[in-house]
Every structure is written in structure tokens, then in C-alpha cells.
Structure 1
Amino acid sequence: MNKPGKQDKQASMDLAESARQTKWQHPSFTAELFKGSFRWDLIHPYPAQSDTDKAIGDAVLVELEKCLKTHINPEAVDKSGVLPETALDALKAGGYFGMKIPKAYGGMGLSITNYVRAMELVASWCGSTAVWLSAHQSIGVPQPLKEFGNDAQKEKYLPRLAAGAVSAFSLTEPDVGSDPARMGTTATPIDDGNYYIINGQKLWTTNGPAAELLVVMAETPPKLVHGKEKKQITAFIVEAPTPGLSVLHECEFMGIRAIRNGWMEFKDVKVPKENIIGNLGDGLKIALATLNVGRLTIPVISAGTGKVCLSYCQDWIKQRVQWGQSIGKHQAVANLVNDIATHTFAIDAMSFLTCSLIENETADVRLEAAIAKYFGSERAWDIVDKTMQIRGGRGFETADSLRKRNEPGIPIERVMRDTRINRIIEGTSEIMHLFIAREAMDLHIKTVFALSNPAISISKKIGIVLKAGLFYSLWYPKLWLPSWSIFSIKHLNQRNLSQLHYISRTSKRLARSLFHTMVRFGPKLEYQQAILAHYVDIGTQLFAMAATLSKAESILHNHQNPKTIQALTTAFCHQSRKEIEQHFRAVRTAEPQEKKVASEALMNADLDWLMNDIIRFETTDTPIN
């Protein structure tokens, strides 16, 4: 019999597995990379925004910029921790709370590309304002309602949401982060199932304290599947204010200080069954689908962060003179600027490529969206850090303080504080690693991992072995064949064309190495998170290289300075290849067992000797008044 811990883990895995999208309706560029196939045709030509759609977006951005500059002072918002009601009213009047909502329901009906362009603009001005708008329509009620709601729900709620009724998404709980199997919030049916009573607490509900409508995930009674109970999580629309719904605490943060984020309590909150989104038990599936699309806002905002940082550096590296020349001519600073520019270009290419693939419905982008979020948020943090390094003490100083000494009020320290959250929200980088690894391994999980299931009969296992043997006997030898791809390239120079051949070769090497690792560890591979993370990073870099090359090819023909595009692309690919080779070396070297010692020692109070000569934090400490 399994230990309780193992049972809990298996229950969590089973629930997560049942919620994921099992079928790949369309090909995935990155999934193919992990299989050893470089499908350049899926991302080239780079899907350009149509002239008509771009004109619509351009017009929206012009008016949005006017609204932001007229009604929002980002420094004052950050300092006070409050986005003024006048600003919210202006955003609502402009229709910016309904950008993603169809025109038929009173919204702007913007394309995904135009919506994220608008969010990039907002975030470049004020991070807090971007979160208000994004939490409302990227993951709040509008997104799941559009995808899974029925006509009656859409007619009832979407016009209100488009007009500015603020919405929120409630999933996380005080003791539950990325493990929904431990969810404690319940929804109990009453009156023959016509109503549900919700009880529980939710933590870090962005927009929650100000929301009129919330999507709340709660556990409903289990259903029987093959004689066993299966946990069900269901999505409910909850209107506020309503009896039993309260804000226990408004959270305060390091950055994005003017958001409204709360610890919410649901105490006997009565909700009609008509407020269920989708079907009973669809909640986690809805949450994952919502995040797949909703998290695309983060990499686009990350690209915007890079663009803003470039603008902060532009005059400074030219005008600041040290040792007889502009600091931009010193190699150390030039290298930092190179990283900022190349990573900004790569994030931008990945993000808008993924948005276009979603809109064109030509590819499955669950991997691409997750990778763009992971890569974008990680590199944006590095970009801001390097920008601060270039600015030195002026980067660490607040914009308000700089202005008081008659210097340009460049708010790098605020941008740094606002940017840090992106590596945490909508899936931490560590969770993104696990999610991407699971999807990347889907081919092998479907083919052979069922053998580890004790519930499967011997005869079925024999069938699985025979089928797997046939598949791998045909698939594996192809991974050793040379890549003879011919790419329809007109503008990339020879050095950048060679990068495409590198991606083609390396995708096969990635698939081989991943297969060898799977054979080595078998079902225990799930415990090798460090090794899987290296494979994820290899796939991430290959996707970033391919997206960058595709975008470069698309803009070279009419760019005023093609040498700059070629150089940025070459520099990015050169650095990516170095990182990829480092990851391949790492997977060949087993993680030393000693790396586990520190964590165990800390939990067992065996590192007390190291924490000497400090004032130790104690959970019983009370704040000093």
C-alpha cells in the first residue's frame, strides 16, 4: 500500500493530467523540435499583421497614449499605491476594459495582436495600470467566458465587463499554489443542485478587492469513474458585493504598488447553477486554457520593458564620457547593451509570432506560449538589471530624487520592482519548466510510460512494448541522419543562414539526448527536475533562435539599416549556441547528491551554525510600532 504522501502526489498528478489538453489538434513548432524535427514551414514566412488590423491597432494606441499621459502620473501612482478613480474612469470611458471583448457585446473586439500591443504600451508607462487591465481581461471573467461560457452568460456579463465592471480570477489559496488537488475551497450543491454554497479562502486575487465579478475555482462533489471517486474542480462566476464575500486583507508588494490584490474569504456564498462556466469538473481545464492565452501578455510586456530600457540607455551611453570617450564605446558597456538589444529583439519575435499563430489557428501554441512567458520574464529581469548597471547610482536612485537634482527622472528602480513579479505570476519559472517538460515528453509518455502503471494487464503491456518497439525502430534511426534542409531564404546573410542548419541539426541531437535520458531513468525521470530543466532551456533557446531568424528575414527587405538587423540576429544566435552547448554538457553530468544536502539541513535546523552573527528572523516576531 502506498504511503499517504505518495497517494497525495499521485492524486495531484492524476488531476493535473486529466485537465491538460490531451490531443494536439494542430502541429506545434516547439513540440516538433523536441521530437527532432525542425518545421521551419510552421513559422516562416513570419506571420505579419495585416495592414487593416495594424491600422486599427495604431489608432487605438494613439488614443490610449493620450489617455495615459493625461490621466496617469506613474511616479505618483507608485508612490501613493493608488490608481486614482479619475484614471480608472478615463480607462473605462475609453473602452480599454473591453479591448478583448467582441463588438457584439460592447467591446472593442481587438485582435490578440492589437490587444497585446496596447498592453505593451500601457506597461511601458505604468506597470500598475497594466496589471489592472490585464488581470481583468487576460485572465479575469472575459477570457473564460468567451471560450467556455454559454450564450446567456455572455449576454448577461460581457456588456457589463466591456463597460468597466472590474473582474478577477480566484484560484490560488493560502496553502495551495500550483497543486490544485489540495484545493480547500468547496462548492456544495443545495436545492436539488439549483444553487451552490461556496466556502473557503483565496489568496493573491488580483483586482479582487475592487471586482464586481470574479471567476472562482472551487471543489464540487466528486464523480465516480470506473468505480473510483474523481475530484472535480468547477469554475463559478461570483458577483460582488454579495453576502458572505469579504476581503480579509489587501496585500502590498515590492512593485506594481497600485494594484488591488486581496486575501478573499467566501463564507456561505450562494451562487446559482447558471453561474457555472462550462460543465461541472471543467474548472481546472478552464484555468489552464485561460492561462495558456492569458500569459501571453507577460512576454509582450517583457519585450516592452526591453524597449523602454533601450530608450533609457540611448542618450546616456552617448553623453556619459569616461576615460576620454562615451561609455557606449567601452566594450564592457557595449556588451551589456548588446544583451539588452538582442534579448529584446528575441522576446519581441517570440511573443508576436505566438500571438499570430493563435489568431491564424494554424498551430498548437501551448508550448510556445509557456516558453515565451518563461523566456520573456527571465530575460526582462536580466535586461532591467543590466540597464541599472549601465546607469550605475542613477539607476538605483528614484526618478523623483533625480528630478530634484535637475537630472532626467529615469525610473529604472521602479521598473525593476515592477518587473520582478513576472517571473512568479501565471506560473513561476520553475513551474514553467515542469509544464514545458511534460508537454515536450508527451510523445514518450504516450508511447511507453504506461508500462509503469500497475493497473495495466500483462497482455496490454506486451502490446505497448510491441507498438513502442515498432515506433522507435523507425523514429530513432532518423535522428542520426544528416539534415539536408533547404530554406527559402532571400535576405539573411550566410552566417545567419548557417544558424538555421544549426537548429535543424541540434533539434535531432536534442531528441536523441532526451530519448537516451528517458531510457536511462525510465519513469523516475520525473524526479530529475534539474536535467529536465536543461532540456527545456535547450528547446527554449532553439525556439528563440528560430523566431528571431524568421522575424529578421521578414523585416530585412525593407529595413533602413539591414546591417543592424543582421548583426543583432548573429549576436543573439551566437550567445544562444553557447548556452545550448552548456546545457548539453550539463545533462551528461549527473547532479551531485550533495546538492540536496543544504535543503535537508536547513529544514532540520542543521545550518544554524552558518547563520551566526545576525539577528535571526523568527516567525513569532511581532512588528515594531
Structure 2
Amino acid sequence: MNRDDSFARGIFSGKVKTKRFHPYLDTLNDEARETLRIMLNNFEKYFAEVHDAKQNDTDETTLEKPFAMFKEIGGLGLKAPEKYGGLEFNYAQFSRVVEVFGKYDLSFTITAGVHQSIGYQGLVLFGTEEQKQKYLPDLAAGKKIAAFALTEPTAGSDAAALRTKAVLDNDGKHYILNGNKLWTTNGGIAGIITVFARVERRKEDPEDTAEGITAFIIEKDFPGVSNGPPEKKMGLRSCNTAALYFDNVKVPVENVIGKVGEGFKIALSIVNTGRFGINASLVGTTRELVRRASDHVNTRVQFNQKLIEFQAIQEKLAKMAMFHYAIESITLFLCNNMDGGITDIQLETAMSKIFTTEAAWYCIDECIQVLGGNGYMRDNDIERHLRDARVFRIFEGANDTLRLFVASTGIQAAAKRMRESQKSMKDCGSQESDKEQGNSDLVEAVATPLRDSALKVTQRVEEFSSAVKLLLHKHGKDIGNQQFLLTRLANSAVDLFAMTAVLTRATGAINKGLASSNHEQLLAKTFVVEGCTRVKRDLQAIKDPENLTTFAAFSQIASDISQNDAIVATRPLGF
């Protein structure tokens, strides 16, 4: 499969490309399946009987003895190749295991997930054989913890603004690293850190000397490496987060990961994996939230009725279940693609991260609402889930920034395709318009009971594409500055992606004759109705002149407040 198969790129040109959605790629043989089953049992037992998430949260640390047991059962070597002591799980296996982590403790999930999803993933994907042999065995066994250091005080979502720099030493055998990193997960406990720095050319170096953002393997024991105290956070309290400082650190040239100047590409590849880990963990969290809410509404009686008998409660429980189904469907899609060797999924991983983190936040908030005062109490784990999950919409790429990335990248692809189409028609002397010809792939791909729903999605894709063309014609090269519009365009793209994932997943259930197929069909149909309504609203906001006036008002209100650094409106009492 090539870049032209991308669902995300396709919808910006009005095409629903379904090749990457087709049935789950089951690559597990009997031995791999049995290994996964054993590991799931081990982890369920560990979290239920040994791990103490509440105590970890209170102490703001991971208790040492339980953590040692977690390491012993292989919890930190899931992604490491077998030859270096790991389990070498593929993405489907890894996803199912991380689901268990997310069910019990999102904070600990980040500690263990960052270690292997992004901490040592650069070594797995881009490391030399010598680097892997030197570092991966200790990392897979948990003898050393890994971290990923990208964010800086002046560079968050804008990774290109890195100021940490590395200069080749006079001996040609070392880079001298200087700078600092902010909010590094595992920063205070890591022994091995993947650090991104800007390699700078010295005055005496030849002009063809390589430079640019580069990835380095940094050992915590290197002279000049230090860290700040653990950060005090709203959530993820047991997960160590600390600043890192590099003061004239001598880094052997053989510790460069990949090639000099290719660090940005490496970082993007690693972060895509990290975003996937977030999705997988939230599958477990939202599944548990639905269970907890269901248990409560089936036992709690108010006004002589069980809560489940109230329609307001039924709506909340149904929407939570629908969002869980969508999160799991999207995660299934990513497993299918990454296990199939597809690497061009930056747009899809960005869209999945936006959807899953916001859908999970909705589920946690609604679960607390359903449980009422019980949900607000610390003895109930749900308030901890809410504190832990809030940052998921910020890290691994802030959702606001990812929306702009999705919209601007998709529009660029659409603009390129329009230019190529126009050139082709001109060369052929054709007077035909650039109107898309047919779009029945999705309708034909889904099970018969879901075809009406697929048709609705297809129609929304065509409307979406029309909105893209309208924006391109109206704003041209200035489109990148129209963030009010781009945000709503990205919202539509995310919903279209989620609906397609849900329909293809429900199709699999129907085709296999699963006992749950009728229920899954109902989930999918209802999710599409709601999703299409959201898309219609967002696209209308792009076209409606009244909304454009509202956007201008937003800018003015924000400007007034910014200039005063305070609320501008006069207090009702005058003082």
C-alpha cells in the first residue's frame, strides 16, 4: 500500500479510500496467542493483587517492590526484540496488554509506556546492531529505565524550535551537548535517554558537514547530565516527570541514532508509536468506566426507580459505550496498519489521538456525573482517572496543534491534487470539471445492514471536500492563517475517520456472525447519526457568514482582554 491509499488524504479530495480499513490483520499464530493469553493473566493478577494505584498516587511515586515484580513478569520488555531479552510483541499484542494497564492505572501506564513506546523505540527502529546489543537487554529487563527528551521551555508542539545544541568536538569522536529539556517523563529515574538536539557546524568545519536536529543516546551517568526535582502535577502523580540539564556533555559519535540531521523524522516516527500507546490504554480505561457506570445505575435507586430506568441516564450510558466502541475501533485500525508495515499514517495517528483523548475525557466526566457524589470521592478511582487523563489532550502533540496539522496537511494534499488534475485536463484539452467521479467504495465495503449509514458518511465526505475547495479558492496561500476554519475542518475529518473505523469494525462482527453483532450494528448506526450531525454543524460553521462574524468577534474579545491582562467588562456594582 502506498501514500495514495491514505484515508485521511483521500477525504480532503472527496474520496473514501477503504483499503487500510479492511478486516483485522490477525498475524498471531497459536504460540503467540498463547503467550499473549499468559501475559494478560499475569498482568491482570499483578494489578488486581499487587499494584496499589491509590498509594502510588498519594505517595507521588511508584512503589519499589511492586515495580520490581512488574519488571519480572516482562512488563518493560513488551516491544523489545526477543534476541535482546524482550517479548517482541506486535502492535495488536501490545495494544491488548496496555489495555489492562489503562484499566487500572493511567499514571503507571505512562511510566511503563513511555519507557518502551518512545523511550527505547528509537533504538528498536533506527539503532545500529552495536547500539541495540549495548542498551536493549538492560532496558527490556527493566534494569534501566528509558526516557524521551524532546520538549524544551521554548519548544513544545513546535519541535523545530529546539535550542539544545550539539557541536562536534575537536577530536571528532564526541559531540558536546548543551541545553535543557522540560517535563521529561521518567526524567528523574531514567538511565538511558533519547535526546533531540540541533547539531551546529563549527566555523572551521567544511560547508558540507551535516547538521540539523539529531537524535542521541544519552546515559544518565555521562558527566554533565543532571535532572531537576519531580514536578508537582494535577494528575499522573506517581509518574516521574522532571527537567533535564546538559552541561558540556561529551557524547560519543557512535551514540547518534540514525543519521545526523534526521532527528525530526525519527522523532515523528517515535511519537506516532507513542500516540498509539495512548489509544490502547484508553480502550481499557473507557471499558472499565462503562462497567462501573453500569454497575452503579443497576443498583442505585432514586425516587423508587433504579437509575437505569431514567432516560437521561440511558443516554449517558449509551454514549459512553459508543465512544468506547469508536476508540477501540480506531485502535484496531492502527494495529492493522502498523502490523501490516504501513508507515505513512501520520495524519491518521494525529486524528486518532485527538478523538480518543477527547472521547475518553467525555466518558470519565460522564461516569462521575452518573455516580454523583460517589464519583467525586477519592475512595473511588474515577476522580484519579480524570486527573490522570486530562494531560492526554496536551502531550504527544497538543490536540489544538494536531488539528491544525491535520487540516493544513490535508489541504496541501488536496491543493496539489487539484493542480495536477487541472494540468492533466489542460494537457489533454479537456473542458471537464474536476468533479469527483463516484464514491461507492465504503458503501460496497460494509455489511448490507450498514450501507445506509455508509452512504451518509460518503455524502458527508463529499460535502467536506467541497468545503476544502471553497476554502482554497477563497483564501489561497493565506489558508494557513485561518485557524478558526481549519479547526472546524479538522473536527470534521476526525469524525469522518472515526465513523469509517466504526462501520468497518461492525462489518467484521456481522460477517463473522458474532453473538454481539446486532448490538455492534446498533452502536455503529447510532454513532454515525451523531457523527454526521457534528460534521454538518462544523461544515456549516465554515460556510455561514454569521459564523465568520462570530470568529471576528472572538479575535476582538481576546485582543481586548489581552491588552488589559484582565476581564474588561465593568463589575455590576462598579467596584
TM over 0.5, shorter chain: yes
Q: Which amino acid aligns with 1:106?
A: G
**Aligned partners of 1:430, 1:345: CA distance in 2, in Å?**
24
Alignment correspondent of 1:39 = 17
**Distance in structure 1 (CA, Å) of the matches to 2:407 and 2:553:** 24
Task: Flag the 1:522–1:562 CA change in 2: closer, same or farther, 3 A.
Answer: same
Q: Which residue of 2 aligns with 1:282?
A: 262
Secondary structure at the counterpart of residue 212 of structure 2: strand
Q: 1:427 to 1:268 in 2, by over 3 A?
A: same
Alignment of 1:13-412 (within 5 A): 25=3, 27-48=5-26, 50=28, 52=30, 53-140=32-119, 142-164=120-142, 165-222=144-201, 232-361=212-341, 364-399=344-379, 410-412=380-382
After TM superposition, give the deviation of residue 439 of structure 1 in Å: 2.8
1:580 pairs with 535, 549, 555, which one?
535
601-610 vs 506-515, which moves further: 601-610
Matched to 1:108, the amino acid is L
What is the root-mean-square deviation of aligned Cα atoms in Å?
2.8
Please give the residue correspondences for 1:601-620 in structure 2 after superposition, counting only pairs within 5 Å: 601-605=560-564, 607-610=566-569
Q: Does the residue aligned with 2:76 lie in a helix, a strand or coil?
A: helix
Structure-1 separation of matches of 2:527 and 2:508: 17
User: Is the contact between residue 97 and residue 162 of structure 1 (CA under 8 Å) also seen in structure 2?
Assistant: yes
Is contact 1:235-1:278 (8 Å) kept?
yes
Structure 1 pair 275–571 and aligned structure 2 pair: CA distance change class (3 A): same
Distance change (3 Å), C-alpha of 1:561 and 1:131: closer
Partner residue of 1:428? 398
Q: Which of 548, 552, 558 is 2:506 aligned to?
A: 552
SS at match of 1:109: coil
Equivalent pair of 1:220/1:281 in contact (CA under 8 Å): yes
Deviations 1:456-483 (A, max 9, x none): xxxxxxx99856966997995332x554
**Runs of 5+ consecutive residues of structure 2 not aligned to the other structure:** none
CA-CA distance at 1:609 after TM superposition: 4.1
Match of 2:526 in 1: 571
Q: Which residue of 1 aligns with 2:462?
A: 508
Partner amino acid, structure 2, of 1:576: G
Q: How does 1:468-507 map to 2 (within 5 A)?
A: 477-479=434-436, 481=437, 483-485=439-441, 487-488=443-444, 491-493=447-449, 496-507=450-461
Q: Partner of 2:396: helix, strand, or coil?
A: coil
What is the DSSP-based 3-state SS (H/G/I as helix, E as strand, rest coil) of the residue aligned with 1:532? helix
CA contact (8 A) 1:385 1:416 kept: yes
Q: Secondary structure at the match of 2:250?
A: strand
2: CA distance, partners of 1:248 / 1:471: 65
Cα distance, 1:144 vs. partner? 0.9
Shift of 1:377: 0.2
- CA offsets per residue over residues 82-131 of structure 1, 9 Å max, x none? 11111221122112111100101111111111112111111211122111
- CA change 1:28–1:419 in 2 (3 A) is same
Residues 364-387 of structure 1 deviation map (CA, whole Å, 9 limit, x = unaligned): 322221111110001100111111
Counterpart-to-counterpart distance in 1, 2:494 and 2:430: 28
How far apart in 1 are the matches of 2:328 and 2:274? Answer: 17
Give me the whole-angstrom Cα distance separating, in 2, the residues matched to 1:381 and 1:445.
34
Shift of 1:504: 2.3
Work out which of the residue numbers 468, 492, 500 in structure 2 matches 1:538: 492
Amino acid at match of 1:60: M
State yes or no: 1:519 paired with 2:473.
Answer: yes
SS at the partner of 1:569? helix
**Contact 2:4–2:10 (CA under 8 A) maintained in structure 1:** no
CA offset at residue 151 of structure 1?
1.3
> Structure 1 476/287 Cα, relative in aligned 2: closer, same or farther at 3 Å?
farther
Checking the alignment, whether the CA contact within 8 Å between 1:216 and 1:238 is kept in structure 2 is: yes
* Alpha-carbon spacing, 1:319–1:178, altered in 2? closer, same or farther (3 Å): same
1:312/1:472 CA distance change after superposition, 3 Å: farther
Contact 2:198 2:213 in 1 (8 A): yes
Q: Deviations over 1:508-537 (max 9, x none)?
A: 222222012111100100001121121211
Change (3 A) 1:608 1:146: same
Q: Give the 3 Å change call, closer, same or farther, for CA 583–487 of structure 1 in structure 2.
A: closer
What is the CA–CA distance in structure 1 between the aligned matches of 2:317 and 2:509, rounded to whole Å?
Answer: 22
3-state SS, counterpart of residue 296 of structure 1: helix
Separation in structure 1 between the aligned mates of residue 431 and residue 87 of structure 2, nearest angstrom: 51
Deviates more, 1:482-491 or 1:273-282: 482-491
Q: 1:618 aligns to what? A: none
1:166 Cα deviation (Å)? 0.2
CA distance in 1, matches of 2:131, 2:210: 27
Cα distance between partner residues in 1 of 2:228 and 2:388: 24
Q: Deviations over 1:534-576 (max 9, x none)?
A: 1211121111111111111112333224332222111111100
Q: CA–CA distance in 2 between the matches of 1:384 and 1:344?
A: 11
- The offset of 1:421, in angstroms, is 1.1
Quote how far apart the aligned CAs of 1:80 are.
Answer: 1.2
Q: Amino acid of the residue matched to residue 558 of structure 1?
A: G
Report the number of matched residues.
563
1:255 positional shift: 0.8
Write the distance in 1 (CA, Å) between the matches of 2:199 and 2:304: 70
Name the SS for the 1:187 alignment partner: strand
The TM-score with structure 2 as length reference comes to 0.91
Q: Distance in 2 between matches of 1:268 and 1:223?
A: 15
C-alpha contact 1:397 1:413 (8 A) present in aligned 2: yes
> Alignment partner of 2:188: what SS?
helix
**Structure-1 separation of matches of 2:442 and 2:186:** 50
TM-score by length of 1: 0.84
More displaced 10-residue stretch of structure 1: 317-326 or 234-243: 317-326
Contact preservation (8 Å) 1:223, 1:230: no
* 601-610 or 570-579, which deviates more: 601-610
Does structure 1 retain, via aligned residues, the 8 Å contact 2:457–2:528? no
Q: 1:353 to 1:86 in 2, by over 3 A?
A: same
Q: CA offset at residue 394 of structure 1? A: 0.9
